[in-house]
Copies of this chain bind each other. A is one copy, B any other.
Amino acid sequence: MATLQDLGVSAAINILSAFAFLLAFALLRIQPINDRVYFPKWYISGGRSNPRSSGNFVGKFVNLNVKTYLTFLNWMPQALRMSETEIINHAGLDSAVFLRIYTLGLKMFLPVTIVALLILIPVNVSSGTLFFLRKELVVSDIDKLSISNVPPKSLRFFVHIGLEYMFTIWICFLLYKEYDNIALMRLHFLASQRRRAEQFTVVVRNVPHISGHSVSDSVDGFFQTNHPDHYIGHQAVYNANRFAKFVRKRDRFQNWLDYYRLKFQRNPDKRPTMKTGCLGLWGRKVDAIEYYDQHIKELDKLMTLERQKIIKDPKSILPVAFLSFNSRWGASVCAQTQQSKNPTLWLTDWAPEPRDIYWRNLAIPFVSLTVRKLIITLSVFALVFFYMIPIAFVQSLANLDGLERVAPFLRPVIELKFIKSFLQGFLPGLALKIFLYILPTVLMIMSKIEGYIALSTLERKTAAKYYYFMLVNVFLGSIITGTAFEQLHAFLHQSPTQIPRTIGVSIPMKATFFMTYIMVDGWAGIAGEILRLKPLVIYHLKNVFIVKTERDRGKAMDPGSVDYPETLPSLQLYFLLGIVYAVVTPILLPFILVFFAFAYLVYRHQIINVYNQQYESAAAFWPQVHSRIIASLIISQLLLLGLLSTKKAARSTPLLVLLPILTFAFHKYCKNRFEPAFRKYPVEEAMAKDVLEKTTEPDLNIKAYLADSYLHPILRSFEVEEEELVELETVQVRVDKLETHHVASQTRSESSSPSPPHDVHHQHSPPHHVHQHQPSPPHYNDYPLPPEYYYHHTSPPHYNYQYQDQP
């Protein structure tokens, strides 16, 4: 067990490292050469195009103004200056709501901390002798401030129970207010948005194959029949995954070509050579520029063929389509209703916004989704429960006696007081952190295999998986296996009433571990976040090796978005720790408070200056955050129940039984009351916006507005000339077919409803339309956002957006 001294050493290390990071950040951020690393958002939003610098040459790279060095913490007030509305306009609702989680944490834990410290510490300390649960466990000084110090059967437990009730009520009150607030913000945000393609678009999956009809024909036929007054056309989805693979390969080659050309330019005497084998380590030696040049040419040919194949081959049209409607009402209705007798066909749902779509998953056959989900569920279960073994092993090192027994030769080193403290205070947290580092990537891949078609959904699902992992491995795992891994097996064979007891008893003993964890993961981690060491290094490397033009530099500085799949679950874990320890060991609460305050400042700064969100989900993640906090409440109540039942507090414990039930009822209520606002777009809203738009813009051509808004981004930008030839015939054929179709549907619609004859708008001949609307060759500036938003991948980001350059 870690003593107070160990904790002190750990705190010192972490606070020092946090300060070192902050200092480094303060120095680096004011250097003009780093301006694009620390303020990319301003470059992207157009607020800045050149680093602020003093005139001379050196001043372009190094900040020579001594005054700015003196106020190295002045980014903090700067970060606080922007109002919430400004943040919404600047960075979107997702970011603003993400910051609200931190303020919620502060609002929640500040009063809780004050009350808990003022009331519980005196109650616990004055309870006299410390009760030893098991003699062999060494109890540290921290435990004297915790509930462990209260003797069994004491009446003082009424105080703890009373506070648990108070805290629960306070937290539920805050949660309700927050949910209400955020639901309103979301609705307001959606209502105030300008016209967007996704408001008129519905995605339909699992279009059945009708023999003799192409997918496009069946889609048109079905929706013209069943939504005659609102359906105006659809945008077919092409299976361009193979094409995308070529594009990625070509980009990689192009990068290398650029690199060697630059090398040759700087050193024209010697043509660069390379080896063709693996990693350039062996194989035939060839001229690098020629080699890549030739390969790129070959790829170009392949891509041309592939492209024609995609466009000509009806089999490359996937049984998925984006349906366009002439009103938000029509789209909202179609998304919410069941279309077909067979409920697994013609599945409609709201379309994600175009930049939010994960195109690759649209090609997954719908039938395999159930199987995929089952397999991934089992894998996540296995991952969550068997990942425990290595962690438990590493943590058992923290029990130094065990380590000495295993490796007696280490004894002289370990016995050094400082090293001992360091190992005990630092190692367990660090080991966990390393384990957790590769995890989000694995979980994201798993979510992708599950087949969600929106990036926002993928990130939410990954966050959920990560949370389960943290709950079982970081929280429960640390509590139960901390002293011995053998406990795990025993634990699996305990009765349901015994489990909260076993965990509840260990909880106060683990307070020091979690304090260390908060310092390592929370404090130092957040300080590392603001320093952005990795992007800094990568940016400067790219700047030296690849960047030729200003556009290349823009791509090299790409900051990405806030890493929700990782930060949300961590945050939820801090909520859990705070809520669980509020009554048990309140001395942990200040650590959490410091984390929330510090993280709030840092993320506010990052959202204003650095991150550029890839998509806007209008706070769709909030219901998850809410339910996790509720789950934390229930966990804390059950564990307190278990803890108290071992304290033989028979008179006071039954009072607690009602609390989880009430909390759960509160959760159900909130779910009913607020969650639909995050999942559905009500008919009332849709109609109101439709009516408003009809009065303000009576002659809007919605069909033209929607044209190709959901075209696979990779098909937009290539070989403009040749395909116009290829396409023209295809289109002609389709139009002929369509007219017969149209006549049929018209006669029907005339007899069924006197709506105006609607033009059948046929959008599935993709690049044709693009070029009508965008006559200039596709270019960076055609996109409202950098092109990488249109194409997503798992390989490292710095080689991937080059395909846009190619003619």
Contact = CB atoms under 8 A, between A and B. Distances in A.
Contacts of A336: 336-338
Interface string A317-335: 0000000000001001100
A684 interface: yes
A222 B661 CA distance: 37
A340 B753 contact: no
Contacts of A342: 673, 677
A687 B226 contact: yes
A270 interface: no
Contacts of A227: 683
Interface string A335-374: 0111111111010000000000000000000000010001
12 contacts: A187-B341, A226-B683, A332-B337, A336-B336, A336-B337, A336-B338, A338-B681, A340-B682, A343-B682, A374-B665, A495-B496, A691-B748
Interface string A486-513: 0000001111111000000000000000
B338 A682 contact: yes
Contacts of A754: 754-756
A619 to B, nearest CB: 15
A245 interface: no
A721 to B, nearest CB: 43
Contact of A751 (B222, B675, B694): B694
A375 to B, nearest CB: 10
A685 interface: yes
Contacts of A683: 226-227, 337-339
A83 interface: no
A752 B494 contact: no
A341 B684 contact: yes
B339 A675 contact: no
A225 B673 CA distance: 23
Nearest to A370: B669
Chain A interface residue bracket vs B:
35 or more
A338 B683 CA distance: 6
A378 B661 contact: yes
Contacts of A776: none
Nearest to A756: B754
Contact of A694 (B222, B229, B752): B752
A52 interface: no
Interface in A647-704: 661, 665, 668-669, 672-677, 680-685, 687, 690-691, 694-695
Contacts of A329: 226
A687 B370 contact: no
A339 B344 CA distance: 25
Given A336-B337, A690-B752, 12 more contacts: A226-B683, A338-B683, A340-B682, A343-B674, A343-B676, A370-B665, A492-B497, A493-B495, A493-B497, A495-B495, A495-B496, A695-B751
A751 B495 CA distance: 68
Contacts of A695: 751
Top 4 A-B residue pairs of the complex, sorted by shortest distance between their CB atoms: A343-B676, A336-B337, A338-B680, A493-B495
A682 B334 CA distance: 11
A608 B333 CA distance: 43
Given A336-B338, A343-B677, A495-B493, A691 B752 contact: yes
